[in-house]
Amino acid sequence: MTGRCARGTSALIAAVCVAVIGPGTGVAAADSDSRPLGCVPAIGTLQILPPLPGLFLPLPSIRGVSEFDDLPAAPAHLSFPPSVDFRDNTQGFNSFVDVVLRDGSLYTRPRESNSPWRRIPTPGCLDGGIVAVSVNNNMLVAADANGWIYSMDNLLSGPLLWNWTYSYGGPIWLWPGERIPGTGGGPIASSRWAISHRMSASFTDAEGYTHPTTAGLVQLVALSQDGARITYQDPWLPADLSYEIGGPEDGRFISEALTTSGSVTFVMNRYGDMYTRKYDLDLAGANHIPGRYTWQPQGRKPSAPNQLLERVDPQYAAISLPAQDWLRQPKIPGEITARLSIHDSGPAMENRELRVEGRDNGRTGYWHKDLVAPAWDFTPTDQELRGIPIANSPRDRSADTLVAPSDLAFQGALPDGWTLRLDHFDWAQTKHPATLTSPTGRAYDIGLYTADELRLLPRGSGLDDNPRGLEGALDLRPADPGHPDNAELRRFIDTRLNGSDIYEVTVQATRAQLVLNPLGVVLPRG
C-alpha cells in the first residue's frame, strides 16, 4: 500500500510503534526458526525513524558517496563481478549503489564505479547469515536461512542513513516479521521472489489515462511452489498470503522464474514464454485511501496535475478499472536461462528495462529490451552463465504447461427470470467470462470484473468458508445491448440494472456461493 502520511506525523507514528512493539523487541538467534533474529530491531537500527520504510522518498545523504569510504573493506579473498547487470537473489542495484551477496554478508560500492567493494553495516546476528537478497530503488530485503525477511531502507541515501528493521506487515509495518512464501524454514528458491519498490512519478492505466504518483509502494512478490499462483505481501497489509496477482492465461500459466521492479512483474515459463504486468494494491483498485477509481468510461477527461487533485476533483480522470492485463513479450531469438531482471529506466512506471541472461553467437551476456519494445537486443558480458538453462522455443508454447482450470462454477437466478453463470471462476483474476441467459433461453456472453478489497485482518489464502470481499462490475457491453435484436437485454438493463451497461457490484465469495449486491443475488456453486 502506498504510504500517505505527512512528515509531521513521524514522531507520533514512532511513539505508537514503541508503544505497540517496544524498543529492542526480538528473540535470541536460537529461536530464529519461529521468530526473526533478535539483534535486528523493530523500529530500526537508526532508532530515529518510524518503521515505515519506503514512505519518505528518499532521505538526502549526509555526505554522499564519501560515506562509502568509512565502510569496512571487503576481504581480499572474495571475488566480485566487474559489473552488476542483474537484480536477482545474489546481487542488485539501484541508481546509486551496487550490492552483492558473498558468504552470508552484503557488499556494496557506488553504482557503476571502480571503487573498492565494502561491507554493508548489518546487525551482528544477521551478518554472515544472509542467504538471499533483493534490491529495488530505496529498499533492500535480506533473507536468513529460515526465510525471515529483514528490510534495509534509505538505499538511495548514503550509508550513514541505511536503516534495518525486521518489521513487515499490517498495520503499517508493525507486524513482528514475515517469511518469504513457501520457506517455513526450508531452502529459499532463487529466481522466484523479489522486492518491489514503486517510486515512479506517474503511470498509465488500462484506458490510457496518465496518473501522477507522489509516494512509494513496497511489495514482496513470489511464486507458489507449482508456479501457477503469484502472491504479494504489502507491509501495510495483514501478514498473510491472501493477496495475489492473477497470473497469465487465466491464471493457468506455470512460471519457472519471476522478478519485479516498481510494481511491474516479469515471469517466464520453461519454454521461454514471457509476460509482464503492472499491478499492485493501488493499481488493482482496492486502496480508496489515496486512489479514486471508476469502472465507467470517462470520455475525454484530462489527467490531474497532482495526486491530491486527482483524488478529490472529479473533473480529472480517475484510475480506470479493471487493472491492465498481462502483456505477452516477444520471444528471444537465442539461448537463455531462467535468470531474469527488470529495473527502472525512467520516471514513469512504463520506463522499465527487461533483461534475460543468455548467449548469442557464442558469447555470454544478456538479452534486453524496453517494456513495450517489439524486439530484443543483446549485450555481451563474457561472464559465466549462472541461471538454469531454458529450452527456449521460437514459437509460443504458453499453452503447453498450463495447470487445470478452476473447478469452481456458480449459477443462480436474477430478477425477471434471468440467470447468470460463471464457469472456471478464479477469484484472483480481474476478468471473469460470464453467461447471462434470458427467460426465452437466449444466452448472452458478458463479463464480471473484480478487485480484491482492502482488508485489515488476516484471512486464509484462496476461497474458503470465510467470505472474501470483492469489488467489481458486470460489463454487458460484449452482448451489444444496443442492437435491435437484443431488445430483451436492453429492457432488463433498463429495469433492473439502472440502465447501466456497466453495473457496479460487490461480491462476497466462498467456495459454496457468490453473493452479488446490490442485486441481492445468490449464485450457488453448481
Same domain, 354 and 435: no
Q: Is the pLDDT of residue 315 over 50?
A: yes
Same domain, 257 and 331: yes
| Surface-to-core class of residue 187, CB atoms within 10 Å of its CB (0-12 exposed, 13-18 middle, 19+ buried) | exposed
| Model pLDDT, residue 191 | 86
Cα torsion angle, 38, 44, 48, 50, sign: negative
Same domain, 385 and 421: no
Confidence of residue 11 (pLDDT cuts 50, 70, 90): very low
Q: Is the pLDDT of residue 156 over 70?
A: yes
Domain boundary among 165, 184, 213: 165
Q: Is the pLDDT of residue 20 over 50?
A: no
Same domain, 37 and 62: yes
Contact (CB, 8 A) for 269 and 395:
no
Question: All 3 cell numbers of residue 216?
Answer: 512509494
| Model pLDDT, residue 184 | 59
The count of structural domains within the chain is 3
For residue 482, tell me if it sits in a domain.
yes
For residue 175, tell me if it sits in a domain.
no
Confidence of residue 30 (pLDDT cuts 50, 70, 90): very low
For residue 172, tell me if it sits in a domain.
no
Q: Give DSSP secondary structure letters for 432-487.
A: EEEEEE-TTS-EEEEEEEEEEPP-SS---SS--SSPEEEEEEEE-GGG-TTSGGGH
Q: Is the pLDDT of residue 6 over 90?
A: no
Q: Is the pLDDT of residue 50 over 70?
A: no
Residues 6+ apart with CB under 8 A from 450: 322, 427, 429, 430, 432, 470, 471, 472, 507
Q: Are strands 193-198 and 217-223 parallel, antiparallel or unpaired?
A: antiparallel
pTM over 0.75: yes
Same domain, 418 and 507: yes
Same domain, 304 and 443: no
As a whole-number percent, the residues of the chain with pLDDT over 70 amount to 91
Same domain, 372 and 501: no
Rounded to whole angstroms, what are the CA distances from 218 to 86, 168, 314? 20, 10, 28
Contact (CB, 8 A) for 23 and 14:
no
Q: Is the pLDDT of residue 10 over 50?
A: no
Range(s) of the domain holding residue 383: 193-401
| Model pLDDT, residue 5 | 34
What are the tens digits of pLDDT across the range 413-448? 999 999 999 999 999 999 999 999 999 999 999 999
